[in-house]
Amino acid sequence: MPTVGTRWRTGVAVLSATVLAALGAAPQALAADGPPSIVVQDGVTQPVFGYADAIRERLFIDSTFDSDNDGLRDIIAFDLMRPAATAQGLKAPVVMDASPYYSTVCRGNESECKADLDGDGLLDKWPLFYDNYFVPRGYAVILLDMVGTNNSTGCPTTNANQDNLSAKQAINWLNGRATARNAAGEVVKADWHNGKTGMIGKSYDGSLAMATAVTGVKGLTTVVPISGPTEYYDYVRSNGVVTRGNSYVASLANTVTNPERREYCKPVRDAIGAADGDEHGDYTAFWNERSYVKKVPNVTASVLLYHGLNDDNVRPDHFSKFWYALAENNVPRKLWLSQEGHVDPFDSRRAVWVSTLHRWFDFWLQNVANGIMDEPRVDLERSADVWETHADWPIPGKADTEVFLQPGTTGAGGLGLVPTAKPATGAFQDSRTQSQNTMILNPDVVQPNRLAFLSAPLSAPLHISGTPTVQLRASADQTDTNLGAILVDYGTDERVAHRASGEGIITLTTEDCWGQSSPTDDGCYKQTTKRVATADYELVTKGIMDAQNRQSIRVAVPLVQGESYNFSFPLLPEDYVFKPGHRIGVIIVASYPQYSSQADTTAANLQVALKSSNIVLPVVGGTAAAHAAGL
């Protein structure tokens, strides 16, 4: 099958992909006794270089892998924009967004695709604002096509090694360790590069930034992952339960492949689907190369991490596990946590985010001493557009606090800081069709397919920060069942409507602009505002597990009918304040069809020993704060 980017192999003459425009830089960017240099004012680089006259290139690198098994190494393509002043001696760092989406799903809230409007082999329309904003400030910008997408050859492998190593090829070239060519086959060198690269991107792009960081590649100085998967097992599984099935990993590879290449790449996708373990949900070797957390000790780049606490696409355990590993390895880091779902900070807190990103890149890539690393490590959105800063996350002073499940008399059970004095049992039957609303609503009413436990109305705020864990002592009358738990805030309040359309934001018709423009590309984007709603309750966090994976996610061990076991599984991480007068609810279920794609079919009857069962909450202030709140 013909492939894009291999023309120099066949010797076909093509249009050169390099255009060198006149310098056109503002006078203050040019030093009288040397090459042009950046201008720093008020602690940040200034837009003293041109955008319309910037040098634009499309380059190709032979990779070290062959994803489509055609006997040829894949070619990784990328589009590069750099200030014209780099032709006169300016040394520029790189901001890179490696992505599989540039010609399919596209990027940003407005779904911008790459576009060569005049057919000259150079990019005219650059998605996102990074080029408009950073090139005039003395940066180069690279938008890299992940293997098997857009102008790169090969086939996507959904975060297997070929995907993960795509961006590393460009960083090696930037630092003189690989060869790049233009479309005419001419060797192109990055003699303008200052040796430092920062990677940024949302979702899949964010995972590629982290995947590159954990290789420890020299020259990658910082990464800014936005809502990206860090453990692909956790993206489609949870503690042995399949949350996204039907060969979802292979399906995603199909989504990012250009339509004209999908049939060609079908054998690669078939191999992915055959190896993904949909039939059991256990952790296998398939997931090792799609895991970044265990490789964090290799990271030498700093990390600015962003995630929505209510992201139900890339769930918050992706940021938390990576963040915990960064802390264990003393990686320089900062964290932003918002109340939205799968939303870019550019569309959530735009002005502050751009300012922060600017200062972050200036510090790490341009050596500007602006003090950003002396500021609080964590920015956290408490409610719509109400942000706090903290020294770290989880919030310092949090302590894991056991809250025990108590038997009830007529309706729901209770919650307390000490276990029930006498043994007591809660019983329910699994329902594979029970909806999440049925699980949560009417907590005071006994229902056959769940157990509900409620605190008394709180007398003081209760702040949790971290990862709650449910610990159950339970038995089942079947050899297999799932288990689920939901932490609920029962209390009327106005909250970010992260489950509504827009996942917490409303896109307006008005625009604002971030950076300079050319005749084919501007830095103007639609503004947004927060979507809020008043509700009587909030699903705070949730978790599930396959009871057969109680010992390990790698090995399933059937239950013995009627025998009691200890089950422990985490809920998704959270940072949440239960207000005075509200009640904390803990809901225990078996199958959780709105969390998993394959509900259990055993319809098991379960018995929970309440005296030995609890939820461990990461309470800021620990047991004393829980006592003060009335638990």
The beta-strand segments (E) located in 339-481 are 378-383, 386-390, 398-406, 413-416, 425-429, 451-454, 462-466, 469-476
Q: What is the model's pLDDT at position 29? A: 52
Sign of CA dihedral 239, 243, 247, 248: negative
Say if CB 95 and CB 162 are below 8 A apart: no
What parts of the chain have a pLDDT lower than 50?
1-28
Q: How far apart are CA 230 and CA 234, in angstroms?
A: 8
Q: Is 532 exposed, middle or buried (0-12, 13-18, 19+ CB in 10 A)?
A: middle
Q: How far apart are CA 493 and CA 485, in angstroms?
A: 23
Q: What is the model's pLDDT at position 600? A: 85
Q: Which residues are CB-neighbours of 387 under 8 A, at least 6 positions away? A: 349, 352, 379, 380, 381
Q: Which residues are CB-neighbours of 275 under 8 A, at least 6 positions away? A: 284, 286
Domains and CATH numbers, the chain: 39-390 (3.40.50.1820), 398-629 (2.60.120.260)
Q: What is the model's pLDDT at position 599? A: 79
Largest CA distance in the chain: 86
Other C-beta atoms lying within 10 Å of the C-beta of residue 518: 19
Q: What is the model's pLDDT at position 151? A: 97
Q: Which residues are CB-neighbours of 191 under 8 A, at least 6 positions away? A: none
Question: Taking the model in full, what pTM does it have?
Answer: 0.93
Say if CB 547 and CB 482 are below 8 A apart: yes
Q: What is the model's pLDDT at position 32? A: 55
Say if CB 213 and CB 223 are below 8 A apart: yes
Residue ranges of the alpha helices (H) in 257-349? 266-275, 317-328
Q: How far apart are CA 560 and CA 565, in angstroms?
A: 9
Q: How far apart are CA 130 and CA 199, in angstroms?
A: 11
Q: What is the model's pLDDT at position 415? A: 97
Torsion of CA 488, 494, 495, 499, to 10 degrees: 80
Can you give 517-581 as a three-state secondary structure string?
A: CECCECCEEEEEEECEEEEEEEEEEEEEEEHHHCCCCCCCCCCCCCCCEEEEEECCCEEEEECCC
C-alpha distance from residue 219 to each of 91, 142, 192, 326 (Å): 14, 14, 14, 19
Q: Indicate which residues carry an active-site annotation.
A: 203, 311, 342
